[in-house]
Structure 1
Amino acid sequence: MIVLMAALNGYLARFFSAVIGFSRVSGVAFVVGCAALAISRVCQVMAFFLPLKIFIVIHSGEVPDYFNIFPETMGFREIIVLLSVMVPVVYGLFIALGIVYRWLIDLHLKRFDSNVLVIMGKETPNNKMKRLHNHVSKAFSEAGLVIVSIAVAVFLDLGVAIAWFVLLYANLWLFHKKAFGAEDHDRLTFLNLHRRQFIEYISSANFLVVFAVLAVELVYFDMGVYTAIFLLLVSRMVFQALNRFSVESLYILKFLP
């Protein structure tokens, strides 16, 4: 197990070395582009969540306490209208930021094209560098989303943040052991799962563990219900990011030196 952990740590070290290597040329374009994709993912989740929340508020006929961010002069209908207007705005941001990501990453690749990518002291051939550029930028945006989410969770509830970290590392260890080295035609476990299926199903199952942790904290440790709902929503986003990071890793490992 220690050997497998060392192998995973080695992959993560090479991955972040590739990120640093790409960031040495027009680093602002690369980092901002990846950040735009990460924020786009957040907007995608919000665009799905907001309509549900609006329907719940309309059905209840009253504004929840956690909406006290709005001025007291705003009535029930004004708040509903404002939230409704936010839905297309947030969805538009999801699309716009995704476009910004592609523009900036393509611009960065053009600027980096004449440079040599060095990963852990080893030079990467130009054809592999171009393949890595696309996959590393996507994976880095997912990694950034996860890191920021864990940082937010630390302030809200340390137990949930620790649970996320343990689950994320355990999942990556399992994926590195079983899926990352598998070929596309290989089938995993007695269920004969494709490597992407294996990653997707395991990543999704973590949501049940986090739900259990939040339920325990809600009942026995006086966690606020709104904090629990927020962390549950963010948990879904975090493990979707894990899924996407792991899928990108299937290709990154093929081109890393």
Structure 2
Amino acid sequence: MIVDSHCHLDFPDFDGERDELIARAKEAGVELMVTICTHVRKFDQVRAIAEAYPEVYCSVGTHPHNAGTERGIPVDEIVKLAEHPKVVAIGEAGLDYFYDKAPRDAQAEGLRIHIEAARQTGLPLVIHSRDADDDMAAILREEMGKGTFPALLHCFSSGRDLALTGIELGLYVSFSGILTFKKSEELRDIARELPADRLLVETDAPYLAPQPRRGKRNEPAYTAMTAAVLAEVRGVSEEEIARQTTANFFRLFKKVPKPESVSNEVAGAA
């Protein structure tokens, strides 16, 4: 079993095709998916998809690109929305200095609000970080000092120092199709170095399709391709990577019920 820990099934790229999309994922061994919220004000659309499919769970939060337009959403509102049984994470929130689509102070403010929501709910914070390693590390260190919270660095493409800071602070690290790209040798070196019990895989679909699908629309089934490369990088079997990343997923996303078929494997890897 493989879990796509981060996709965006509410995006229009998948309109009219979600039934087939999820069927293809299951055929590829990807049996669970978390569809990630990028606008709190559009959360109803995300929630509806999670409610429609037993294999799909969701998060609630504001992407850093939207931190300016959704500025000021209170912690209490996010916490209240997270009470829904299919909401298993907070975010995605973070810092994106590559596109800078929102003021940086709004991004930082939003990140801290989501951190507090993760503290209060105990749900993992899905962190987006791009070209912001130093500021992200500083905020994470400061906020962990105020009180711990579960989190993962999603779609990791940052530097080694941020990865190790995340591990030091108790975070998990998730790899996407970027891991498979020809010029991603530094990223593969990081993936090789990190502890096995902190690794997850994802697609970030519809973006970042892995080789050999690069440049085409991504979808949850392709998580298996990234998992295969991660296994090769770490010198283990694809079955071992599937087992380990699934165990890690359930350890972090505690609100997701464990299927009976994997409960024993997860317990053994814990």
TM-score (norm 1): 0.28
Instruction: Between the two structures, name the one with larger relative contact order (CA 8 Å, sep ≥ 6).
Output: 1
Query: Which structure dedicates a bigger proportion of its chain to strand?
Result: 2
TM-score (norm 2): 0.27
* Structure exhibiting the larger radius of gyration computed from Cα positions: 1
Query: Which structure dedicates a bigger proportion of its chain to helix?
Result: 1
